[in-house]
């Protein structure tokens, strides 16, 4: 077997016999080329540069050294472990390597797995595995399962850091198995094991399995409230948090799949219960909010309002402006669906206020937008335009493309609605001036329908040539180019430049009216 070993730094850490085995091939040697002066020989510092001794003078290599050179790193490592009597570690390591190879084969050469470095070529990880596995086998032989657990846990953490998910999962799983053997701590390690496995599974997307594990965790934690995790939380709270989160996730999942609505509500309710049990307000609020939204989607506005008001109260307590905003928004929506529009507006206004106060532009923009929509629906176009205007400006200042576009369209629609009455009136008036104004508007798009006609009585009897007629109106326009509307004009011009869709909506809505 011709060994193609990459250079390995130092011997593997596990050699205790004191006989150093060099796994790495020796550095390139040879006499220096003719031109260069031979290097000064420091006192023993430059031994690597010395010309190679003839083979006969070199020391005989021991069998271990030759096999170390001849065989693969994995082979040497395994043999090392076995020689020291750690056969279970060997089995485990071997199985792991084998599993990865099989998975790779199954995935085929076109998959991502194919190009990844295999475990057996990652010497650092192999060494890590070896030290910990042997240590845990030693402890297991002595019957000290807590040590075993600790070693496994450490390995799991290590592989979590290096990003080898499957290895981390494996060790978390075995952690759990080991923890069943630890009898003298009434299941604390087992609880930890359940928690870790649950987290790993959640990460893998196996939510239902994760849920089961978290439930086990919770069961153990509930009876022992004095256990405390590393970040100074009781296990109980921790379990509640995890459970609440996983229930929420499952609930959302069900929502996306549009399966059984009741089941979804069931999960969200469970999440809420758990959140309440954890006594963390933020979490409770979040859960309540989700629940409220779900009810609202389900068409049960009353229950939804109940939960959402609850959320609002929690947010008020916590002084969480974003939360209050969200709550107001959701409540407004629910109310609107319920048909209580005025109340809805009230809440939305609150939302706007809160958002303004908190300085959260995104929320502010959203609030204005929602308010605008409701005004628009109610036919209060004046207010609607104002709100959309605000929303649009905010969106532009944030540079959020979708929100800019949405608000732009809505702004246009609201303005069109606003103008509609004026245009309609002019059409109905059926006077020449009115008609001209419409024509004028067609070409320049200036909103002047609200203005009174200059002197309608004078103009009517004396017919004018179209040129003469057009002049004074233009002058008028120039004179009275309204300051209030200046901003709007600019924007509208911009609109016509940037997006034709907007003008289309303008004209469409106006013409249809």
Partner 1 sequence: MTLNPLANPKGVNLLCELCQKPAFIQCTKCRVTYYCGVEHQKADWLGIHEKVCQNLISLRQNEPFLASEEERQNRQRQLLHKKKAMIDLTRTTGQKLLFEGKHEQAVPAAMQSLRFAIDVHGLASIELVPSYLILGEASIGLGRLSQAEEYLAQAQWTVLKTPECSNSIKSRLYRNLGLLHAAKGEYDESLRQLANDIYHASEEFGTDDIRTSGGYFHMGNVFYRQGRIDIADSLYRQVTDIWYTHLYKIVKIRTRTPATPKGIGPLISETSEEEEEGLDEAQEAEAVQVLNALYDLREHQPNRQPQDLATVCHALAMLYFVLMDINKAKEFGRKAVVASEGHPDDNLSRSIVEFMKTCDRVPAPPTKD
- 14 phi, psi to nearest 5 deg: -90, 5
What minimum distance in Å lies between the beta carbon of 162 and partner 1?
25
For residue 330, how many other CB atoms are within 10 A of its CB? Answer: 23
Query: In 3D, which of 25, 20, 123, 26 has the Cα closest to residue 73?
Result: 123
Chain residues 118-147 in contact with partner 1, contact rule CB under 8 A: 141
Nearer to partner 1, 65 or 421 (CB): 65
At residue 6's C-alpha, the angle toward residues 33 and 118, to 5°, is 160
Which of 12, 23, 68, 78 is in the footprint of partner 1 by CB under 8 A? Answer: 78
Q: How far apart are CA 252 and CA 311, in angstroms?
A: 19
What's the angle, vertex CA 219, arms to CA 215 and CA 224, rounded to 5?
140
Q: Closer to partner 1 at the Cβ: 90 or 217?
A: 90
Nearer to partner 1, 76 or 216 (CB): 76
Among 2, 112, 401, 428, binds partner 1 (CB under 8 A): 2
| Residues sharing a CB contact under 8 Å with residue 214, sequence separation 6 or more, in sequence order | 194, 195, 198, 239, 242, 243, 246
Q: What does the DSSP 8-state code read for residue 3?
A: -
Q: How far is the CB of 92 from partner 1 (least distance, A)?
A: 9
Using the contact rule CB under 8 A, the part of the chain among 90-98, 111-119, 128-136, 396-404 near partner 1 is 90-98
Among 82, 105, 228, 460, binds partner 1 (CB under 8 A): 82
Instruction: Please give the Cα distance from 234 to 242 (Å, whole number).
Output: 13
Q: What b-and-e string marks burial along 412-425, b requiring 16 or more CB atoms within 10 Å of the CB?
A: bbbbbbbbbebbee
Smallest gap from residue 9 Cβ to partner 1 (A):
23
Query: Given phi > 0 = left and psi -120 to 50 = alpha, else beta, which region is 3?
Result: beta
Per-residue binding letters, 210-229, with partner 1 (x by CB under 8 A): --------------------
The structure tokens listed for 64 are 């271990």
Considering the complex, what minimum distance in angstroms separates the CB of residue 2 from partner 1?
Answer: 7
Among 454, 399, 415, 398, residue whose Cα is nearest residue 431: 454
The residue range among 77-85, 280-288, 340-348, 408-416 that interacts with partner 1, by the rule CB under 8 A, is 77-85
Q: Are 414 and 392 in contact (CB under 8 A)?
A: no
String of contacts with partner 1 for each residue 94-123, x by CB under 8 A: xx--x-------------------------
Q: Both tokens of residue 27? A: 């550095």
- Give the nearest distance from C-beta 200 to partner 1 in angstroms: 25
Cβ atoms 267, 275 nearer than 8 A: no
- As measured in angstroms, the least distance from the Cβ of 87 to partner 1 is 6
Interface residue with partner 1 among 13, 20, 32, 85 (CB under 8 A) is 85
Cβ closer to partner 1: 91 or 228? Answer: 91
3 touches partner 1 by CB under 8 A: no
* CB-nearer residue toward partner 1: 91 or 318: 91
**37 versus 63: smaller Cβ distance to partner 1:** 63
Of 15, 49, 79, 306, which one interacts with partner 1 (CB under 8 A)? 79
Q: Which of residues 47-76 bind partner 1 (CB under 8 A)?
A: 63-64, 67, 75
With 0-12 / 13-18 / 19 or more C-beta atoms within 10 angstroms meaning exposed / middle / buried, residue 492 is: buried
Q: Which of residues 7-26 bind partner 1 (CB under 8 A)?
A: none
Q: Which residues bind partner 1 (CB under 8 A)?
A: 1-2, 63-64, 67, 75, 78-83, 85, 87-88, 90-91, 94-95, 98, 141
């Amino acid at each position: 077997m011709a060994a193609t070993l990459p250079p390995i730094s130092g011997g593997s850490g596990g050699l205790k016999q004191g006989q150093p085995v060099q796994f790495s091939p020796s550095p390139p040697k040879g006499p220096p080329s003719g031109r260069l002066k031979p290097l000064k020989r420091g006192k023993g510092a430059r031994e690597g540069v010395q010309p190679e001794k003839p083979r006969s003078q070199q020391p005989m290599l021991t069998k271990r050294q030759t096999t170390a050179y001849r065989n693969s790193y994995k082979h040497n490592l395994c043999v090392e472990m076995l020689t020291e009597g750690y056969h279970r570690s060997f089995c485990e390591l071997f199985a792991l390597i084998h599993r990865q190879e099989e998975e790779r084969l199954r995935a085929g050469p076109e998959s991502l797995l194919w190009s990844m470095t295999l475990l057996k070529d990652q010497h650092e990880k192999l060494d890590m595995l070896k030290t910990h596995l042997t240590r845990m086998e030693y402890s297991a032989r002595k019957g000290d399962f807590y040590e075993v657990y600790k070693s496994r846990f450490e390995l799991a953490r290590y592989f979590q850091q290096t990003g080898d998910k499957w290895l981390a999962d494996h060790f978390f799983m075995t952690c759990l198995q080991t923890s069943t053997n630890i009898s003298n701590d009434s299941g604390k390690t087992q609880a930890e094991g359940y928690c870790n496995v649950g987290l790993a599974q959640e990460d893998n997307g196996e939510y239902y399995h994760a849920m089961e594990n978290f439930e086990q965790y919770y069961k153990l934690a509930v009876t022992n409230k004095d256990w405390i995790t590393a970040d100074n939380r009781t296990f109980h709270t921790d379990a509640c948090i995890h459970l609440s989160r996983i229930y929420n996730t499952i609930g959302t999942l069900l929502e996306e799949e549009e399966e059984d609505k009741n089941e979804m509500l069931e999960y969200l309710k469970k999440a809420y219960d758990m959140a309440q049990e954890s006594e963390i307000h933020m979490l409770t609020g979040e859960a309540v909010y989700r629940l409220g939204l779900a009810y609202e989607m389900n068409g049960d506005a009353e229950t939804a309002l109940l939960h959402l008001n609850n959320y609002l109260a929690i947010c008020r307590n916590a002084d969480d402006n974003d939360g209050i905003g969200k709550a107001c928004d959701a409540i407004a929506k629910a109310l609107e669906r319920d048909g209580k529009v005025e109340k809805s507006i009230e809440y939305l206004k609150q939302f706007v206020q809160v958002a303004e106060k908190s300085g959260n532009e995104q929320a502010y923009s959203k609030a204005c937008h929602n308010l605008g929509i409701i005004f628009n629906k109610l036919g209060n176009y004046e207010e609607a335009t104002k709100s959309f205007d605000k929303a649009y400006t905010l969106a532009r200042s944030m540079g959020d493309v979708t929100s800019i576009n949405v608000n732009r369209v809505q702004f246009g629609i609201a303005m069109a609605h606003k103008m509609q009455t004026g245009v309609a009136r002019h059409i109905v008036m059926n006077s020449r001036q009115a008609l001209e104004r419409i024509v004028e508007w067609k070409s320049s798009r200036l909103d002047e329908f609200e203005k009174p006609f200059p002197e309608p009585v004078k103009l009517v009897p004396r017919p004018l040539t179209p040129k003469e007629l057009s002049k004074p109106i233009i002058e008028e326009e120039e004179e009275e180019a309204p300051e209030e509307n200046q901003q709007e004009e600019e924007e509208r011009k911009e609109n016509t430049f940037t997006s034709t869709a907007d003008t289309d909506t303008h004209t469409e809505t106006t013409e249809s009216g």
